[in-house]
Structure 1
Amino acid sequence: MAMLLTVLAVMGCGLIAGLFFAFSTAVMGALGQLSPAAGITAMQRINRVIVNPLFLGVFFGTGALCLLLMVMAVPWRGETFWLVLGGASYLVGSLGITLICNVPLNHRLAHVAAESREADIVWADYRERWVWWNHLRTVFSLLATASLALSL
């Protein structure tokens, strides 16, 4: 059972890492080439669309699997280090950064009028900060994927 749960967690971490990687390497760069009004409008739409049962199930379900695997890792076995590192990386670096850093930025952007005078400044600041946090959660999600895979 632990092996199946670990495989599912590896798959979930990999999916989330891939999503974050796509945003870091393509999506945000493309949105940055649009006018601030168009970029803001597109990102506001993305932020609404991504809150769906499939994404939320994978995102939070993977967190639940990581937490369960970390609890199951006690008593300490040989693969415990990798399970704990992988689980903690996902919980802190993917879920934590998302909820504490990226989501609040998204909420602030949701209240910006795309055609407002300050849209240029808000959009530039948002992209810089959001992408930095996204790069970090990409790295943590990849670390989680690799660590959990090594535990197998």
Structure 2
Amino acid sequence: MSAPIEVLTVLAAVGCGLMGGVWFAFSGFVMSALARLEPADGIRAMQEINRRALRPPLMLALFGTAAACAALTVHALVTWDAHRSPWLLAAAALYLVGTVGVTRAGNVPLNVKLDRTPAHGPQAGLAWAHYERAWAAFNHVRLATSAGASAALVVALT
């Protein structure tokens, strides 16, 4: 493995681990804490969290890691190595499909719908209960796939 690819692999592993840590926080305690709030309070808190999430720190980590994984996919396919390439491809698939894909197909549509939900509306309680369960389920997948991708990248480095 060349030095630039090794550095890129380390950066991708750290990025996957960092994103796994974000998802872990939500799966481990943030969502359960928000679920204990009154629906209006939970909705407003999550609406604000979602707005803050769209800023550079999270977006750069999420999509910078995706770019690194995409570049490692190309590298793995072009310079096939029987030991490293399968791990690089597995990591990229886990992260790109299981983290970025699930975020785009699962969490983002829920966030958009929640953003349009009046916190004090007549359906707020039902909307919040559905959101919290569905969003958390998708988030558990993101946690598992980000952590798995990070582990696969570490194996590729050995």
Query: TM-score if structure 1 supplies the norm length?
Result: 0.99
| Cα shift at 1:54 | 1.5
Could you list the runs of 5+ residues in structure 2 that have no partner in the other structure? none
Aligned ranges for residues 1-152 of structure 1 at < 5 Å? 1-74=4-77, 75-77=79-81, 78-152=83-157
- 1:123, 1:43 → 2: CA distance? 10
Structure 1 runs (4+) greater than 6 angstroms displaced: none
- 2:16, 2:141 → 1: CA distance? 14
Amino acid at match of 2:25: A
Could you list the runs of 5+ residues in structure 1 that have no partner in the other structure? none
- 2:57, 2:63 → 1: CA distance? 10
| Cα shift at 1:128 | 0.6
CA offsets, 1:10-35, max 9 Å, x none?
01000000000100010000000100
Amino acid at match of 1:118: Q
- 1:66, 1:128 → 2: CA distance? 29
- 2:7, 2:80 → 1: CA distance? 19
Amino acid at match of 1:66: C
Query: TM-score if structure 2 supplies the norm length?
Result: 0.95
Calculate percent identity across the aligned residue pairs: 45
- 1:10, 1:28 → 2: CA distance? 26
